[in-house]
Amino acid sequence: MTQLHLDQAQIDRARDSARRIAQRVYDEMSRFTTTTVERATLRLLGVDGVDENLVPLPNRVVSHLQERQLLQHGAASAVLGAMKEHGLSAMQVAEAVAAGTLSLNRPKNEAAARADADAQARSMCERIIRQRTQREARIKSVGEASLPWLYLIVATGNIHEDIVQAQAAAEQGADIIAVIRSTGQSLLDYVPYGATTEGFGGTYATQENFRLMRAALDEVGERLGRYIRLTNYCSGLCMPEIAAMGAIERLDMMLNDSMYGIIFRDINMQRTFIDQFFSRMVNAYAGVIINTGEDNYLTTADAYEAAHTVLASQLINEQFAYLSGLKPDQMGLGHAFEINPEMENGFLWELAHAQLVRQVFPDAALKYMPPTKHMSGNIFMGHLQDALFNIVSTATRQNIHLLGMLTEALHTPLIQDRFLAIQNAKYVFSTMKDLHAEIQFKPGGLIESRAQTVLAEAERMLAEIEEIGLPAAIGKGMFAEISRTPDGGKGLDGVVRKSDDYYNPFPKLMLGGR
């Protein structure tokens, strides 16, 4: 498919505005840490497990440091100082704190504590790199599917049942398995521990669940002769901790948006902006592909009228991702096929939007979402809508293709629903494999003109956001028509201003000192 004629200078101006918007937020938020950043740091230093009341040990230690007015200095030096002074491991320090037999203080020898923390952090970084290397080796050994990758969800609430469904989905043709989290986990300010069997609408994200599913997908991938990728949800109040657990257990993708939690979960924007930077830094280092959530905007706002907000948000998400060390091929920028099917020429507008995103982000691992908002429960119409979505995806060379379900709006998909969705997509992808190379857009036609209009509107929106600042733009409801305030939402009490001597060993190892 030939390219749409787009003004590259206009794209560059929009991207420059997004870069300045993201940098301004980063500069303001880099003066702060959060309780979950410090908990993630402790996890990366080896703290795990729960106390006798099933409260995670990272939470116990961070709460202890917060009570003693020490958290602003960073959790790493206090814990490593105690390790050195008492001859304990990180886990033993955490257990002693939880038991009330040890009180943490500033280390007696700050330089020695930091040196030990650096060594401990390097050891974890080496472990993460080994996992990244293992991913690459497995892909080289067993191969991988061609693009678009078929992305399918499992959500039973029981990790052991999820494994059965995930392996069946892979056998039917899925390339990516996303384990949906239990309803409300994004609002928990702690990470549950161990294998879980009771979740509502999904399965809890825990490190043990990650380990179990990773092993299951490796096993089925070996049998099928292709690497099966694993996805979970790195969002909510524990975003950095989930990123750390995913890096340790070799997850391949994480839903990791810079603004989703603010807009759709009413999580405090300061907390979110700080947490998204650290979590994306870990994901970048682990070779994880992040998925952003712009598709959600179109479930609350009109997909035609709000198309430019998707592009503007994608450009901002891209710049936040760069600041965290992510490369373009790790950026699964999200968008969706959500125009009302009763709208005349709706398919043309969907094609215009998808091709516009492909051209603005030529190297990104784009994530394309199926129709959901206008799925009526008519399974025959739904299957047809999904087929049209599949056509746009292959024609515009999307990377990550979330399968549409004909039973959307009826129930959680059954295994036969997933089978039909996979067959639908595979048929379209095969029969139209080289369609993109055989057709061209009419210069000045409806599709090209629509893309140019959306690009111009996105440029204007970003210029306005640059003038007023991203927090004010979110406050005005410029994204998804939902308004949030800088001091509102959940989790503000977990934001901590850093002291002048704040210390965390991971940014300098993962980002080279930033």
Q: Kindly name the residue from 218, 257, 275, 295 that is annotated as catalytic.
A: 295
Name the residue with tokens 């301004």: 24
Q: Which 8-state DSSP code applies to residue 237? A: G
- Rounded to whole angstroms, the maximal C-alpha distance in the chain is 74
Known catalytic membership, residue 426: no
Domain assignments of the chain as residue spans, ordered by start: 32-122, 144-448
pLDDT at 96: 97
The pLDDT of 225-230, averaged and rounded, is 98
Query: How far is Cα 352 from Cα 354, in angstroms, rounded to an integer?
Result: 6
Q: CB neighbours of 92 closer than 8 A, spacing ≥ 6?
A: 83
User: In this structure, what token pair is assigned to residue 478?
Assistant: 């410029």
Q: How many whole angstroms from its chain centre is CA 334?
A: 10
Which band of pLDDT confidence, cut at 50, 70 and 90, is reported for residue 85? very high
Query: How far is Cα 490 from Cα 359, in angstroms, rounded to an integer?
Result: 37
Which band of pLDDT confidence, cut at 50, 70 and 90, is reported for residue 1? low
Q: Tens digit of pLDDT for each residue in 388-406?
A: 999 999 999 999 999 999 9
pLDDT at 240: 98
**Which long-range contacts does 478-484 make (Cβ < 8 Å, 24+ apart)?**
478/309, 479/259, 479/263, 479/297, 479/309, 479/313, 480/263, 480/264, 480/296, 480/297, 480/300, 480/301, 480/306, 480/309, 481/300, 481/301, 481/306, 482/263, 482/264, 482/300, 484/262, 484/263, 484/266, 484/269
| CATH 3.30.70.1230 fits domain 144-448 | no
Q: CB neighbours of 242 closer than 8 A, spacing ≥ 6?
A: 191, 205, 232, 233, 234, 235, 236, 254, 279
Q: Tens digit of pLDDT for each residue in 196-205?
A: 999 998 999 9
Known catalytic membership, residue 260: yes
- 275 membership: H or E segment, kind and range: helix 269-285
pTM of the entire predicted model = 0.95
SS3 content of the chain, % helix, strand, coil (to 5): 55, 10, 35
Q: Tens digit of pLDDT for each residue in 53-73?
A: 999 999 999 999 999 999 999
Q: Kindly name the residue from 218, 257, 285, 367 that is annotated as catalytic.
A: 367
CA 298-357-12 angle, to 5 degrees, is: 120
- 13 membership: H or E segment, kind and range: helix 8-29
pLDDT at 514 over 50: no
The pLDDT of 28-47, averaged and rounded, is 97
pLDDT at 70: 97
Helix (H, G, I), strand (E, B) or coil at 326: coil
Point out which residues pair with 230 in neighbouring strands: 177
How many residues does this entry show for the chain? 514
The pLDDT of 275-280, averaged and rounded, is 98
Q: Which residues of 193-229 are buried (b: 16+ CB within 10 A; e: fewer)?
A: bebbeebeebbbbbbbbbbbbbebbbebbeebebbbb
Query: How far is Cα 229 from Cα 310, in angstroms, rounded to an integer?
Result: 26
Q: Tens digit of pLDDT for each residue in 436-484?
A: 999 999 999 999 999 999 999 999 999 999 999 999 999 999 999 999 9
Which band of pLDDT confidence, cut at 50, 70 and 90, is reported for residue 290? very high
Query: How far is Cα 480 from Cα 318, in angstroms, rounded to an integer?
Result: 18
Architecture of domain 32-122: Orthogonal Bundle (1.10)
User: In this structure, what token pair is assigned to residue 114?
Assistant: 């930091």
Query: How far is Cα 349 from Cα 355, in angstroms, rounded to an integer?
Result: 10
Q: Kindly name the residue from 151, 190, 204, 260 that is annotated as catalytic.
A: 260
pLDDT at 513 over 60: no
Please report how the helices 346-360 and 446-468 are oriented relative to each other, as an axis angle in degrees rounded to 10: 60
Residue of 176, 185, 220 whose CA lies nearest to 368: 176
Known catalytic membership, residue 373: no
